Amino acid sequence: MHVKSQVAVLGVLLVALVGGCSDVMIDSVVSPEQVRDVVERNIANLVYVEGGTFMLGDVGVLDGSPYTTLNDHSKPPVEVTLNSYSISKYETTWGDFVLYLKDVDRIQNYTKEAGYTTAAIVPITSNQDLLSPNYYKKPARSPNYHEAKGYCDWLAEKSGLPFALPTEAQWEYAARSRGRNVPYATDDGTLENDTYLQRPEQYIDPETPPSGNALGHSSLTQERRAVGSYPPSPLGLYDMTGNLAEWTQDWFDPDHYQHIDSTNPGGPEQPLDSENPEKVVRDYAGRGDLWGGAGTVFARSGENINTSFNNGFRCVVNQSTPVQQ
């Protein structure tokens, strides 16, 4: 299933060659209508998640085996209760993310000419070329945690709604379709990998139709499928297994479940290591890390908020009633 073609045409990438040297100039002009379109689309893509009580963590797999992950970060599971909220059915796309960076006047920060060379794809841009990893309907790789959070904060400012990155409890509860005991956030709780990008690396042809129910393969390229390319979960969410790993708002602590709050838990108040501040990242199937259960919805790890540049994200709205469309 494909997300509807609703993204407005964004600014074009201009490359000027001057005296044998190249300078990337990115058109950063954004109209109020473009901003309104992004905000309205994000609101329309929200899925309401009725709150409840569930076991957060590695509850096992369908055959009754006790655990699916090799590390102890997600076990034993703990009972927590969440208020209702809404979550985006899709990972944030390049089209919407680039418009945000233009609107806040930071798009020029992420170019080689500006001294920025560590992003997954530089310069950060979007286009309408299916062959490009920056195709506007493909999931965006935020250059750091701050811009992922900034995007959700920007939506909150523009809409007046309490958009935010999800807590990891919100992320897992939604990925498991309100806490079902399933290891993958797919249509049936199992994983059938798309053969696209399987090693040995195949020729990239985005017009190859999707197969299976998730893209969980690693690749030396930055290629991924457009959001919404696979069947949704029972809750109506896409790509919470596969495509990209996703940021959450919680600081990472491998032992957090041992002292977690039982109601609407968030992460620790501060990072464990101020010199290596890490936030929780979920869905390592989006990295192709499937061995040993690393790609399940239970797996959790921490990544540096300043230097990790490969992760996608989606936003929630922290409102206990459904958002008016």
Residue 172 backbone dihedrals phi, psi, to 5 degrees: -70, -40
Least confident of 169-183, 258-272, 279-293: 279-293
Short-list 53, 42, 56, CA closest to 87: 42
- Return the minimum-mean-pLDDT range out of 114-123, 151-160, 181-190, 316-325: 114-123
Question: Which domain range does residue 37 map to?
Answer: 13-317
Token pair listed for 49: 């998640």
Q: Decide if 109 is inside a domain.
A: yes
26: confidence class by pLDDT, cuts 50, 70, 90 = low
pLDDT given for residue 211 in this prediction: 92
Give a yes or no: residue 191 inside a domain.
yes
325 occurs within a structural domain: no
Q: Tell me: the pLDDT tens digits for 33-59?
A: 999 999 999 999 999 999 999 999 999
Strands 316-317 and 278-282: unpaired
**Is position 1 within any domain?**
no
Range name among 2-11, 112-121, 280-289 with the lowest pLDDT average: 2-11
CA angle 200/216/264 to nearest 5° reads 160
| Residues 116-144, mean pLDDT to the nearest whole number | 85
Residue 223: which of 241, 201, 252 has the closest Cα? Answer: 201
CA distance 67 to 296: 11
**pLDDT tens, 94-120?**
999 999 999 999 999 988 888 787 666
Q: What percent of the chain has pLDDT over 90?
A: 66
CA 308 to chain centre: 13
CATH number at residue 204: 3.90.1580.10
User: Is 139 within a domain?
Assistant: yes
Residue 291 falls within a domain, yes or no?
Answer: yes
Q: What is the pTM of this model?
A: 0.89
- Rounded average pLDDT over 201-230: 81
**Structural domains counted in the chain:** 1
Question: What is the maximum alpha-carbon separation in the chain?
Answer: 67
pLDDT tier for residue 78 given thresholds of 50, 70 and 90: very high
Considering the domain boundaries, does residue 5 fall inside one? no
Contacts of 28 (CB under 8 A, 6+ apart): 11, 102, 105, 107, 108
Residue 2 lies in a domain: no
User: 234 burial class (0-12, 13-18, 19+ CB within 10 angstroms)?
Assistant: middle
pLDDT one-digit tens code per residue, 285-294? 877 777 777 7
